Structure 1
Amino acid sequence: MSLEFLGKDPDSPNGGSPTIWQDTETGDLWIQGWTVQGLAARAEIGTIPDGEAVVRVPRRMLQFFPEGEQ
């Protein structure tokens, strides 16, 4: 596995997350972001299986996502 850095949120304080990388072998995206907080959001999302997480990524970060396969 080799990860290629795609972008970091330019508006994040102290150069923190969110950050996006792409696996150069599989094309999978690796995303660092803010975990879901708050009862209302958790209730809408429902059960999150062990070993998984839901992260929030600001819309302004879409510029760093590669175009989808056609």
Structure 2
Amino acid sequence: MKVTMLATTCDKKDCPTIYKTDRGTILVQGETPTDHGLSIPAHETLVEIPIELIREAFGDQLGG
């Protein structure tokens, strides 16, 4: 899989980051929240990232 960084919150490798892949998918690096109260299947996970990171990565493409 080829991965290209779209946006990050810092210059280190341990910060929230958004990547695009050559598979037509997005990878998200962020904190794993534990206080969400949701039922998540064992083969899935949640990550939490700042909304500003989404805006930086996708800009006006998200609208509103």
TM-score by length of 2: 0.73
Q: Secondary structure of the equivalent of 2:7? A: strand
- Between the aligned residues of both structures, percent identity stands at 25
User: What is the deviation of 1:52?
Assistant: 1.1
- 1:64 equivalent in structure 2: 57
Partner Cα distance (1:54, 1:48) in 2 = 8
Structure 1 runs, 4 residues or longer, greater than 3 Å off: 65-68
Which structure has more helix as a fraction of its residues?
Answer: 1
| Count of residue pairs the alignment pairs up | 59
Structure 1 residue ranges without an equivalent (≥5):
none
- CA RMSD of the aligned region, Å? 2.1
